[in-house]
């Protein structure tokens, strides 16, 4: 708590108010505590949008921001009995002062107080469609407020997702510092485990080592469940079983990132468990690396945010053709989407509070253009499944390379550059 800076969150609420139309109110919910099974819960993770505007880390809370700049928090009442079990609770009075709200109330009073806050407003903004339970509550608050103001127009309900998402798209100084640190921790952790990885280790041995490095380097949590996929399991994009042996001669694909100050990092490296790429592994690896580098250069201020995607499709198609995995002309491969047999995900995603940051890629049919201080992952891959119509020596090879890129007007910055990415560098590191 010591480095909590209330001004960051107050400034964001002021900016949100500025972006709202006159006579409107934003209503935003925190995360809930999620039951794991009887009497146990998953670790609490605050909703990223709620955190972005409050810095407040408790469940069962609601924030309102009005277009005139006033903000109100509803949170749990302080309860010393409950604190003996679950730890410190702010309670409305202390939360109001510490987090800089204009008012704060006990959440149990929300059904009486909130309709009064929203009555007479023209528009209620909310992140619609994320939770049926919250949507139903919003509808009931609007109905109650409308019934109090029979002689005025009804309140419009508007989805605020693009407004908040657009704000979150451009990272402020504080966010860039946290993302930089998250990326640094993830990168030195990848480097360290890559150096220690050996034949005989299982996927979960490596998983333990990555999670341990994250924690030892200052990150308590992974930003998503790591993917540690030996051999052909690398072709399963969301493989998280991480419970198999990795055989001598196989590659292991590791997609693992951490969270620091609520901000994500997201790195993938693919390396030979015995420290030396085979000819086929290396050929595919170099095609992916070339596509990765080309796509990074396409993440340029002023370019549409889909340019890295198109660049990666072209580069991978040419590479797949060069090594004989695809036949025909480059135009034909691209027109018929033949590369999708081997490259069946997108090039990357926005990253910030969420690993897949809750930000738009287009608004009203217009693609978002890259601007300074956006953060995107670049993560091309080639996956040769057993079902592919190719020579057996290629089958079961899956390679992805993923780095996190800060877009700047004078070029991109690779925030995860501390992990080796050239095949020779990886082999060198693994032999040390």
Beta carbons of 191 and 420 less than 8 angstroms apart: yes
CA distance linking residue 326 with residue 338, whole number of Å: 8
CA distance linking residue 173 with residue 207, whole number of Å: 32
Tell me the closest approach of the beta carbon of residue 350 to ligand GLY, in angstroms.
Answer: 11
Strand order in the sheet with 62-66: 103-106, 71-75, 62-66, 24-29, 123-126, 156-159
Pick 53 or 355: Cβ nearer ligand GLY: 355
CA distance linking residue 9 with residue 31, whole number of Å: 18
Pick 49 or 377: Cβ nearer Mn ion: 377
Cα 301 to Cα 170, 368, 412: the distances in Å are 12, 11, 9
Tell me the closest approach of the beta carbon of residue 267 to ligand GLY, in angstroms.
Answer: 9
Nearest to 87 by CA among 74, 78, 97: 78
Tell me the closest approach of the beta carbon of residue 235 to Mn ion, in angstroms.
Answer: 15
Pick 313 or 402: Cβ nearer ligand GLY: 402
Nearest to 265 by CA among 315, 214, 304: 214
* # of chain residues touching ligand GLY (CB under 6 A): 7
Pick 28 or 211: Cβ nearer Mn ion: 211
Tell me the closest approach of the beta carbon of residue 416 to ligand GLY, in angstroms.
Answer: 12
Pick 230 or 381: Cβ nearer ligand GLY: 381
Residues carrying an active site annotation: 39, 238, 255, 266, 345, 349, 356, 379, 383, 400, 402
Q: Which of 203, 255, 307, 354 binds Mn ion (CB under 5 A)?
A: 255
- Residues 373 to 432: which contact Mn ion by CB under 5 A? 377, 402
Binding to ligand GLY by CB under 6 A, coded x per residue (else -) over 189-208, reads --------------------
- Residues 370 to 409: which contact ligand GLY by CB under 6 A? 379, 402
Residue 281 binding: pick among Mn ion, ligand GLY, none (C-beta 5-8 Å cut-off by kind) = none
Pick 114 or 235: Cβ nearer ligand GLY: 235
**Nearest residue to ligand GLY, scored by beta-carbon proximity:** 255
Q: Which of 47, 184, 207, 255 binds ligand GLY (CB under 6 A)?
A: 255
Residue 224 binding: pick among ligand GLY, Mn ion, none (C-beta 5-8 Å cut-off by kind) = ligand GLY
Q: Which of 266, 307, 313, 341 binds Mn ion (CB under 5 A)?
A: 266
- If DSSP codes are grouped into helix, strand and coil, which group holds residue 383? strand
Q: b or e along 53-85 (b: 16 or more beta carbons within 10 Å of the residue's beta carbon)? A: bbbbbbbbbbbbbbbeeebbbbbbebeeeeeee
Owner of token pair 């009005």: 66
Contact status: 354 vs Mn ion (CB under 5 A): no
Tell me the closest approach of the beta carbon of residue 291 to ligand GLY, in angstroms.
Answer: 15
Tell me the closest approach of the beta carbon of residue 186 to ligand GLY, in angstroms.
Answer: 11
For 227, residues 6+ apart whose C-beta sits below 8 A from its C-beta are 238, 239, 240, 242, 253, 254, 255, 256, 268
381: phi then psi, degrees, rounded to nearest 5: -155, 160
* # of chain residues touching Mn ion (CB under 5 A): 4
Strand order in the sheet with 413-414: 375-378, 403-406, 413-414
Q: Inter-axis angle of helices 161-169 and 6-19, to 10 degrees?
A: 130
Pick 73 or 291: Cβ nearer ligand GLY: 291
Residues that bind Mn ion (CB under 5 A): 255, 266, 377, 402
Residues that bind ligand GLY (CB under 6 A): 224, 255, 266, 349, 355, 379, 402
């Amino acid at each position: 708590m010591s480095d909590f800076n209330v001004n960051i969150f107050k400034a964001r609420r002021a900016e949100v108010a500025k972006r709202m139309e006159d006579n409107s109110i934003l209503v935003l919910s925190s995360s809930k505590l999620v039951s794991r099974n009887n009497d146990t819960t998953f670790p609490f993770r605050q909703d990223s949008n709620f955190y972005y505007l409050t810095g407040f880390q408790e469940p069962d809370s609601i924030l309102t921001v009005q277009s005139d700049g006033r903000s109100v928090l509803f949170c749990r009442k302080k309860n010393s009995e409950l604190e003996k079990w679950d730890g410190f609770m702010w309670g409305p009075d202390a939360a109001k002062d510490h987090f800089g709200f204009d008012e704060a109330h006990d959440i149990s009073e929300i059904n009486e107080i909130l309709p009064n806050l929203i009555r007479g407003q023209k528009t209620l903004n909310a992140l619609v469609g994320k939770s049926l339970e919250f949507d139903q509550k919003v509808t009931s608050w609007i109905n109650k407020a409308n019934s109090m103001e029979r002689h005025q127009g009804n309140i419009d309900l508007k989805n605020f997702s693009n407004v908040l998402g657009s704000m979150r798209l451009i990272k402020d100084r504080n966010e860039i510092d946290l993302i930089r640190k998250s990326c640094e921790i993830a990168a030195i952790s990848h480097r360290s485990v890559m150096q220690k990885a050996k034949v005989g280790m299982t996927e979960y041995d490596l998983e333990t080592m990555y999670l341990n490095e994250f924690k030892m380097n200052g990150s308590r949590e992974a930003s998503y469940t790591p993917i540690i996929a030996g051999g052909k399991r690398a072709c399963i994009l969301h493989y998280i079983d991480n419970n198999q042996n990795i055989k001598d001669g196989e590659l292991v694909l590791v997609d693992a990132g951490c969270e620091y100050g609520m901000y994500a990092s997201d790195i993938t490296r693919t390396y030979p468990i015995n420290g030396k790429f085979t000819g086929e592994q290396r050929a595919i690896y170099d095609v992916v690396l070339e596509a990765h580098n080309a796509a990074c250069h396409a993440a340029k201020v002023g370019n549409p945010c889909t340019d890295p995607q198109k660049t990666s499709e072209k580069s991978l198609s040419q590479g797949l053709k060069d090594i004989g995995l695809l036949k025909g002309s480059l135009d034909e491969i691209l027109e018929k989407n033949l590369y999708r047999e081997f490259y069946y995900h997108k090039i990357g995603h926005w990253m910030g509070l969420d690993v897949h940051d809750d930000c738009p890629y287009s608004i009203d049919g217009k693609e978002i253009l890259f601007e300074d201080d956006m953060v995107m992952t670049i993560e091309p891959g080639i996956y040769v499944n057993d079902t592919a119509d190719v020579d057996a020596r290629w089958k079961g090879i899956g390679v992805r390379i993923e780095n996190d890129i800060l877009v700047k007007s004078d070029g991109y910055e690779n925030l995860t550059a501390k992990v080796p990415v050239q095949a020779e560098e990886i082999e060198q590191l693994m032999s040390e």
